[in-house]
Structures are given as structure tokens and as C-alpha cells.
Structure 1
Amino acid sequence: MIVRESVMLGGKPLTMEIGRLAKQAETAILMSYGDTQVLVTLCYSNPRPGIDFFPLTCDYIEKTYSAGKIPGGFFKREARQRASEILTCRIMDRPIRPLFPKGFIKDTQLIATVMSFDRENKADVLALTGASACVHLSSMPWAGPIAGVRVGRIGGDMIINPTFSQLDESDMDIIVACSRDAIVMVEGGGVEMSENELMDALDFAQESAQPVLDLIEEMRAVVGKPKIDFAAPELDADIKARIAPLVDKELLAAAQIPAKHERYGAYAALKQNMAETLTAAIGEERYAENQKLISAEFDHRKYTVVRELVLGEKRRIDGRKFDEIRPIATEASVLARTHGSALFQRGETQAMVTTTLGTKLDEQKMDALHGQSWKRFYLHYNFPPYCTGETKFL
């Protein structure tokens, strides 16, 4: 069954269509706004053995055919995602992830594909709203729905989902993810503004998003799937009661060790001691069955102890008071043959920064759906695993 419903948003119809495309997916919704269309799909599967986190993947893909373009370069096929696409993936992920229940660990993938682009209406908020609608119409448990809107301001007047040409005149560009009674995420920028002006923009977004939330609920009433029953696994009460008396005092002492490596070493030793004590008390088999939940409870006790330290004694994790800062040191010309280099250090955190100057020939051509541009300033950030004393893939 094909269901197609619309609602007016910012003076234009926002349309959701389900049942025509990607029929093998858990849910698949074609979002349309103007002539910009985004297909958002959701699939999920059983948990992978051994994982203890929620493996949610959000992908956003801009197909050049959507704007009637052929990819540039020697190979006439889309390559890896551009930085702008990756940032849109994060816009989808951030407001959606926290709404899943704690302990839900099924492999989940949301894919938003730009199928048509009219060079006027941006696709990122369509991807966000479509992702929310997909999850809400699916059988997955979650605390949605949410809706995404973009707020602009021209001449003091707020507008919803401004076009590219309107954004050129706007002094504000803010993406807001809204639920019925809360703001879930805010991202954007603009000229300097007062707190009241920003709050007015958020209130405007919240009010404007309500018809979209109504539309998602109406779609669910027609084609929504029954939600699966889910209850997060809980640690047995008798085991849980043993952990706090066993670790809290030592956790408090470990949390106040100034040096990070020593502090983490103390945590590891305490966790090992807890494991040995609990194994002796409840048996190896029962400990093995509850090992992940016991580890999670240990982390929760660590969080609780640190929170009580901060709120009760007004001190941070390494013993510093709220108004104490770590020593700051800088050093220039650290590397011999770079155009510029500097070492910045605060406490145990270091940043090695280098600068390279180029010519106009070194500008990067940016080929996006809405047109080409040239980039002449690059900021590349690297965080290799040795920064935290760990072994990971580069």
C-alpha cells in the first residue's frame, strides 16, 4: 500500500510517501520539499555476539544525478562521502540516538539518499525528519518522534527552511530538532545575537515543527508497525548490592589522583579486585553470565562517586577546585623544516600544530550539488591512538 501525506511548512508542502520504494527495508520514506527529494531507509538486525553498545549507523549520500550532474574527475562515479555529507550524517545521528532505550544493541542502519535536488531547498533537514519518521513507523522501540527544521532571519523576520538564496541574506542559519515538548538538538551559526533572540528562534522552530510531528503520527496510525517489546537487561539485585560497598571508597581515592595514567591504573586494579571478590562470592559461572552488567555497574559507581565529589566537595576529578586551571605552556618553531609549528600544552594534553602556505594552484575545488566553489584554507585534525595511550586502528 502506497501512502502519501503532506503538510504545509514554511509556505510549501512537505510530503512523506511510504510503500513505493525500497520495499525490503524495515521502513522507507520518500521525503519531498519543493523538487528536493530524499529517500530515507531503515533496517535493523539481531545483535552481534559480544557487543555492549548500540551500533547505530547513519549515512547521508548526495547523488550527483539528483542535480543533473556528472561527477568530476577522471572516474565518473561517486567516490567516498564529502565532508559536508559526513556532517549531515551527524545531524541525523545526534538527536535520534539518545531516544532509543538503554540496553538496545541491535544493528541499526539509517540511509538517506538525495534522489532529486532543486538547488533551492536543502536536503539535510529532510534527511533528519525522514530518519525520525522511519524509526517511528518501524517496530523499533524509541521515544520519538522528532522533526528537523532550519530557521533563518531576514530583516528581523524569522523564516522556516530558507532557500539557498534566502540564506545568502539571512543573518542566522540554525537547524533545530524538536520533539513535542523539548528541543533535542541545535546546530548552526549566525551573527552575534542576544540570548532572547536565540530563544525566540528556538521557540519559532518548536512551534513550526508541531504540524510535522502531527503528520508523522498520522502516518504511523495508518501504516505504522507494532512496536516490539523490549526491556533492558538488569543486574541481579543481590549482586548489585555487593558492588557499591566494595568499590566506592577506593573509587573516591582513585578519582583524586592527579596523573591520568596512575588514575586509570588504580581504576583497573580496583576493577580486577572487584572481579576476584565477586567471583569468589557468587561463583565463576554466575559471574560470567553477568560480567557485562557488572562492568556497567562499576562504571555507574565511578560516575556516581565523581558526581558526589564534584557537587559535595566542589572539586574536580584530579583534585582541582572549580576556579583552578592547569598550567598552560606554548613553544614556537618546534619543527625544523615546516613553514610554521607550535606546541601547545595544558596539563597532560598536548597539541602539535603546523602551518603550510601555498599558492592559488593549491586551492581545492569543491564540487557540491548546489555548485562549485574553491577552498583556500584547510584545517586538518588528527587524533592518533597514542594520544590516549591506546592501541587502535589508524
Structure 2
Amino acid sequence: MKVTVERQFAGRTLSITTGELAKQAAGAVTIQYGETMVFVAAQNGPSRPGTDFFPLTCDYRERLAAAGKFPGGFIKREGRPTLREVLTSRLTDRPIRPLFPEGYIEEVQVMSNVLASDGVNDPDVLSIIGASAALCLAPVPFQGPLAAVRVGLIDGEFILFPTQEQIADSELDLVVAGTEKSVLMIEGFGKQLPEDQMADAIMFGHRTIVELCQLQLELVAKSGRERFVLPAPEANPFEAILLEKAYAKLREVKQSSVKKERSSQTSAYKKELLAEFFPNDAETTAAGLTKAQFFAAFYAVETKAVRDLILDGVRLDGRKHDDLRAVSCAASVLPRVHGSSLFTRGETQSLATVTLGTIRDVQRVEGLFGEEAKAFMLDYYFPPYSVGECKPLRGPGRRELGHGALAERSVASVLPSPEKFPYTIRVISDILESNGSSSMASVCSATLALMDAGVPISQPVAGISIGLVKSADRFILLTDIMGDEDHFGDMDFKVAGTQKGVTGIQLDLKIDGISEEIVRATLEQAKKARIELLKTMLSAIRRPRSEISTHAPRLLRTKIDPSKIGLLIGPGGKNIRAIQEQTGATIDIEDDGTVVIASSSSVGAEDALARVEAIAEEIKVGRVYNGTVSSIKDFGAFIEIAPGKDGLCHISELSDGFVKNVNEVVQVGEKIQVKVIAIDEQNRVKLSRKAVLADEAEKPAAE
């Protein structure tokens, strides 16, 4: 039976339909907003034998046919997921995962497919809403519904579900997901927004989330589906035994400032207990308890020990709840590269490298909303040795792509405009060591490396991660969480920003939501840590270097009348090719008349710029030009002062003395400086070398 529910949001209709498509799927919906439509299917199935985790997979796909386009290139079938598809898949996964009960290990797959795109409404938040609705209809113990909204900020007013055009002018691009009662996931980027304003934006979005959750409950009620309830799991007898025997010891071994010590001591104690309960490597104890029950119970008691320590005010490495780990920074740590830095916070370390390129190095990305040119890229690499492991390298995974995108967008808002700094910028963050929040370490190292490269950023950016341990009646916020605190805790709340405000924010939870009180307290605690971090970072390099590296290309930018582009290029590219060959520079011309000149030397760049301007501008009386003698006559020399533009330098204007023969002063092909002294009615240009010599003679006298 086809069922549709709909409601107005921000002046457009959002509708959810089920019972029409994919009837064999466990749950399937079509969600439409404006003329953007997304189909989402949810399916469950038995997990593989031996699985001890929840195997949830979320996949989001955009096909260009949804926008009436063909893929570029030779192959017209879509290939591997794009970066945007990977990031949206993660965005869909993160709020869904905490709403499944602990111990549920059946396989669940959620697949989102954009069927139509109107170029106005972004389908990514629709994927999250559709995934929740599909799971509510499926026979799985999903504790939803949840919903997501996008929030913008224009002229001080929050905008719900901003269009693509509005996002381009917005000071904020924020996605908030949550249930009727609490916030589950946040991902947003702003232009140095104050913490209070960011918190207001989150709660503004949550008010609409409540309505969207109610709309899904209406859909479920109309469809006649009964919600699936998972039977309560049987108690693990081993848990009570280990709670009595191992709890105190685990509290003891977990207190160390060194990650390897905590890990090795915990592993050694686990082996000791295994040998005691399962002598001679027996499969069961005398009471018939299994190793699987032992491992599950050990993890449960280990988790309780760590959480109780934190709630008692004791962090694993001895810090106070709002203390940073030791931080050290250094710039210019690598030779030859255009900019570099090393940022270390506790046992997390990021090495950043900056490369400056030309307009030809811009990355072009094709998507539903047209082709995008990216002039700033931040690539994050997480090698296995950073956590003391051996693993094969098979290209960047979802986590690496997600962390890189978070750091990239957190820094992007402080970069200079292309008019001020026309370089393409690539930052590489190599995580050399990891024990908590390497993405925020990448923000810090990227900032230092950009300053070292001479990129005139408006403000330095730092990032920090705040953790949470929450009990029934209280909660503790932890500044600069380590890996164990993230693993056993309830929250990883990353906040990046400047001294003025927030530039990037990301929240991941393991529990079913947090309150407004926790959101606001976290933002304030993160601000305090961020200011402290910025002070340490600025002790390594106070401000962006005044000059870029000698190994970086020199870029100059000018703008000419678009009608002069053809003249600059010349017949068959003759003029522009001659300038590039004679100066050693490369020249790129855009349709609006913007000309970007790149050269390995400043002399070559300046020479090419002068030639470009000479062609594009009208010849002006009184201006000095670098010319080339093109022909010699008895009465003077014809000199090319710009491609296709000649002038006559009469014999009387060749020198400040008497000239009997033109060949005694200049030769064909010789480069000389001449001044334009007149342009007649027929647009003939009269030049003078004598005037240039006179000007040069006057300079020492004036000095």
C-alpha cells in the first residue's frame, strides 16, 4: 500500500513515500524536497559467524543523470564513489549508529540513491532523513526516528534548508541531526562564528528536527508497520565474576600517561586471567563458561573501570578534565618544500607540507551542481605505523577522506582571496603518531605550514577535541581526549577556530544524544583550550612570512579587457607563445579577462606582465616600453613595442648626440628602451630613445 506524508519547511514541501518502490526491501522510502528526490532502502540480514561488532554499512550515490548530465571523460558509467559521496555516506552513518542497541550484531545496510536533482536543494540531508524513515519501517531494533537539517546564516538571520545560491553567500554551513529529545550529530563550517551563535544555530536546527521526527512517526503509523523490539540479552555470568576480581586491578593498570604502557599492561593482565580461568588453553571453564563470554565481560569491566575513574575526577594520564597535553610546534622543518611544520600534542603528531602551484594545478570536480574548481586541498594520511601496526596500504579509506575534509574546510575560511594570493594550495598532513584527535592536529600543523609558506591567512586556526563521560545524574567534559578516552567515552566533539570564533565543528556520539547544556558547555571549554593552543603555535611562527619560498613559482595577476584576449593570443597563438618563449613564463587566460602569469623567477614574471599589459593596453604618450628593433631605414628605426605594434624612432631621436648612420646606434633584433612622444591622427606612433637617455641622466642628479 502506497503511503505518503508531507509537510512544509522553509516554503517548500517535504514528502516521504513508502509502499511504491522496492517492495522486497526490508524498508524503502522516497523522499522529495522541491524537485530533488532521493530513494533510500534499508536491509537487514544475518551477520557472518564470529562477528562481535555491529556491521552497519551506509552508502550514498549521486548519478549525474539525476541532473540531466553525462559523466565527463571516455567512460560514461559512474566508477568509484566521489569524495562528496563518501562524505555523505559518513554523514548518514554517524547519527544512525548510536540508535541501535548494544549487542545487536545483525548486518544492516542502508543505500541512498539520488533520483533527481533540481540544482537548488542539497540531497545529503534528505539521505539522513530517508535512512531513518526506512529503518523505522524495517524489522530492526532501530531506536529512532531521527532527522537532519541544514542551517545557513545570512545577514545575521538563520536560514533553514538554504539553497545552493544561499549557501554561497552564507557565513555558516551547518548540518545537525538528532532525535525529538536531543542532538546526535553535528558537522558545520563557519566564518569565525562566536560560540554562542554557533550553539543558537544548532538549537535552531533541532526545533525543525522535532517536526521531521513526528512526520516519520506519522508515516510508520499510516503504513501499519509494527516497530521491532529486540529481546533483552541474557546476562553474562562472567561479568559479575570479573567485576569482583578484576575491576580494582584494571583501574590501576589504566592509569598511565603512555599509551603503550596501558595497552601492554592490560593485555598482560588479560592473558593472566585467561590462563587462570582456562588452564591448558581449555575452551570452557569448569562451570561451562566460554572464552567469548570472558572477552565480552572483560571489555565491559574494562569500560566501567575507565569511566568510573573519569567520573571520580581521575584521567588516565593524570591531567585535570580541562588540561591540554604537552604541545610543541616547529616551522620550516623540511628543506626545499614551499612550507612545512611539525605539530605534536601528547602522543599525536602531524607533519604538514605545503605546495604552491598555478591555476593549472586547480582540481576540477564534477557533480550534480556543476563543475567546481578547487584551489585549496588538504590531504590527510594515516599510515599504520602511527599506531604501531602493520597493515597493507590500499588507498585512502573513508576515515582518511573524512578527516582530511574536516581539516580542509576548517582552515579554508581564513585563506586569502584569489585576487590577493592567486596560488593553488595543497597541504599534506602525515600523521606520524596518533593517540586522539589527529584531524585537529592536522588543522594546527596546516596553519603553521601555511604561515611558513608565506600564505597571508587572515587568522591562525587551531583545533581541539572534547570528550564526554555521562552517567545518569552527571557528566564530565574532557579536553584533548586520548584514544582510550574516546574509545570508552561517549562523545568526540571536535571544534576548530580562531581567537574570534568557530570555523569547523564535528560531533560524533556513542550515546543517544546530548542536551543543549552539554553543547554550550563543550563549545566554551573548547574555546579556552583553543586560545591556549594558539598561543603555543604563535611562539613557533608569529605571522605569515613576508615572502614565499624561493622554490615556489612566482605568480602575477592582471585583468585585461575581454575584447583584447584575441589580440593577446595572436593568430594561431603567435603572440602568447612568443611571450612565453622569450620570458620563460607560463600564461593562463580566463574568459573574464583575468591573466595569471607564472614563472620560476620574479624577473621573468615581471617581463611577461609588462608585455601582456603592453598588448592589452592602449599605447600611451609618455610611457617607456621595452622594444625590439624590427627594421632599419635611412631616416630611423622601426621598433616593435608590443606584438603587432610598431613605432618609428627618427634618426634625430636615437641618441643625445648627432647620428650620421642609424646602424652605428642600433641593429635589427636589438632590445632597447624607448618613450612614446606622440601619436598622430593616423595612429602612427613616434618614439624617442633620446628621451629615455635624458631621463636616466636626470635620476642621479635628482637623488
Query: What's the TM-score, normalizing by structure 1?
Result: 0.90
1-structure distance, mates of 2:124, 2:210: 19
Identify if the C-alpha distance between structure 1 residues 235 and 271 changes in structure 2 by more than 3 Å, giving closer, same or farther.
Answer: farther
Identify if the C-alpha distance between structure 1 residues 360 and 268 changes in structure 2 by more than 3 Å, giving closer, same or farther.
Answer: same
**Paired residue total:** 392
- The Cα shift of 1:20 comes to 2.2
1:113-138: CA deviation from partner (whole Å, max 9, x where unpaired): 11100000110111110000000111
Task: Write out aligned runs for 1:114-263 (5 A).
Answer: 114-231=114-231, 233-237=233-237, 239-263=238-262
Aligned to 1:97: 97
SS at match of 2:159: strand
- The Cα shift of 1:351 comes to 2.1
Does structure 1 conserve the Cα–Cα contact (< 8 Å) formed by 2:283 and 2:290? Answer: no
Identify if the C-alpha distance between structure 1 residues 362 and 306 changes in structure 2 by more than 3 Å, giving closer, same or farther.
Answer: same
SS at match of 2:152: strand
SS at match of 1:103: coil
Residue 354 (structure 2) pairs with residue 359 (structure 1): no
Q: Which has the higher contact order (CA 8 A, sep 6+)?
A: 1
1-structure distance, mates of 2:40, 2:162: 22
Aligned to 1:285: 284
2-structure distance, mates of 1:193, 1:50: 47
2-structure distance, mates of 1:78, 1:288: 54
Identify if the C-alpha distance between structure 1 residues 8 and 38 changes in structure 2 by more than 3 Å, giving closer, same or farther.
Answer: same
- The Cα shift of 1:181 comes to 1.9
SS at match of 2:251: helix
Q: Which amino acid aligns with 1:269?
A: A
Does structure 1 conserve the Cα–Cα contact (< 8 Å) formed by 2:152 and 2:171? Answer: yes
2-structure distance, mates of 1:57, 1:77: 23
Does structure 1 conserve the Cα–Cα contact (< 8 Å) formed by 2:236 and 2:293? Answer: no
Does structure 2 conserve the Cα–Cα contact (< 8 Å) formed by 1:26 and 1:138? Answer: yes
- The Cα shift of 1:151 comes to 1.9
Q: Bigger shift: 199-208 or 358-367?
A: 199-208
Q: Bigger shift: 243-252 or 360-369?
A: 243-252
Q: Bigger shift: 9-18 or 253-262?
A: 253-262
Does structure 1 conserve the Cα–Cα contact (< 8 Å) formed by 2:236 and 2:297? Answer: no
Aligned to 1:371: 370
Aligned to 2:675: none
1:26-82: CA deviation from partner (whole Å, max 9, x where unpaired): 111111111100011111101211111111111111110000111112222212212
Q: Which amino acid aligns with 2:167?
A: L
Does structure 1 conserve the Cα–Cα contact (< 8 Å) formed by 2:36 and 2:116? Answer: yes
SS at match of 2:380: coil
Q: Which amino acid aligns with 2:118?
A: D
1:337-388: CA deviation from partner (whole Å, max 9, x where unpaired): 5444443333433323223232222111111111112112221111111111
Residue 366 (structure 2) pairs with residue 345 (structure 1): no
Residue 5 (structure 2) pairs with residue 9 (structure 1): no
Identify if the C-alpha distance between structure 1 residues 320 and 221 changes in structure 2 by more than 3 Å, giving closer, same or farther.
Answer: closer
SS at match of 2:377: coil
Q: Which amino acid aligns with 2:241?
A: R
Q: Which amino acid aligns with 2:159?
A: I
Q: Which amino acid aligns with 1:180?
A: E
1-structure distance, mates of 2:236, 2:305: 21
Aligned to 1:78: 78
Identify if the C-alpha distance between structure 1 residues 299 and 121 changes in structure 2 by more than 3 Å, giving closer, same or farther.
Answer: same
Q: Which amino acid aligns with 2:144?
A: G
1:146-183: CA deviation from partner (whole Å, max 9, x where unpaired): 12122223333333211111223333322222322222
Aligned to 1:113: 113
SS at match of 1:285: coil
Does structure 1 conserve the Cα–Cα contact (< 8 Å) formed by 2:45 and 2:106? Answer: yes
Does structure 1 conserve the Cα–Cα contact (< 8 Å) formed by 2:239 and 2:300? Answer: no
1-structure distance, mates of 2:89, 2:56: 11
Aligned to 2:315: 316
Task: Write out aligned runs for 1:374-385 (5 A).
Answer: 374-385=373-384
Residue 318 (structure 2) pairs with residue 295 (structure 1): no
- The Cα shift of 1:322 comes to 4.7
- The Cα shift of 1:216 comes to 1.2
- The Cα shift of 1:253 comes to 2.7
Does structure 2 conserve the Cα–Cα contact (< 8 Å) formed by 1:385 and 1:392? Answer: yes
1-structure distance, mates of 2:330, 2:199: 41
Q: Bigger shift: 21-30 or 190-199?
A: 190-199
Q: Bigger shift: 223-232 or 360-369?
A: 223-232
Identify if the C-alpha distance between structure 1 residues 357 and 199 changes in structure 2 by more than 3 Å, giving closer, same or farther.
Answer: closer
2-structure distance, mates of 1:259, 1:288: 37
Q: Which amino acid aligns with 1:319?
A: G
Q: Bigger shift: 325-334 or 149-158?
A: 325-334
Does structure 1 conserve the Cα–Cα contact (< 8 Å) formed by 2:239 and 2:301? Answer: no
Identify if the C-alpha distance between structure 1 residues 113 and 288 changes in structure 2 by more than 3 Å, giving closer, same or farther.
Answer: farther
Q: Which amino acid aligns with 2:343?
A: F
SS at match of 2:296: helix
Q: Which amino acid aligns with 1:368?
A: G
SS at match of 1:378: strand
Aligned to 1:32: 32
Does structure 2 conserve the Cα–Cα contact (< 8 Å) formed by 1:235 and 1:290? Answer: no
Identify if the C-alpha distance between structure 1 residues 199 and 355 changes in structure 2 by more than 3 Å, giving closer, same or farther.
Answer: closer
Task: Write out aligned runs for 1:271-282 (5 A).
Answer: 271-279=270-278
Aligned to 1:65: 65
Q: Which amino acid aligns with 1:107?
A: E
1-structure distance, mates of 2:200, 2:327: 39
Aligned to 2:582: none
2-structure distance, mates of 1:168, 1:325: 36
Does structure 2 conserve the Cα–Cα contact (< 8 Å) formed by 1:148 and 1:209? Answer: yes
After superposition, the CA RMSD in angstroms is 2.6
2-structure distance, mates of 1:122, 1:324: 40
Q: Bigger shift: 109-118 or 228-237?
A: 228-237
Q: Which amino acid aligns with 1:155?
A: D
Does structure 1 conserve the Cα–Cα contact (< 8 Å) formed by 2:366 and 2:372? Answer: yes
Q: Bigger shift: 356-365 or 117-126?
A: 356-365
SS at match of 2:379: coil
SS at match of 2:112: strand
1-structure distance, mates of 2:175, 2:13: 19
Does structure 1 conserve the Cα–Cα contact (< 8 Å) formed by 2:38 and 2:127? Answer: yes
Q: Which amino acid aligns with 1:367?
A: E
Q: Bigger shift: 98-107 or 334-343?
A: 334-343
Query: What's the TM-score, normalizing by structure 2?
Result: 0.52
- The Cα shift of 1:104 comes to 0.8
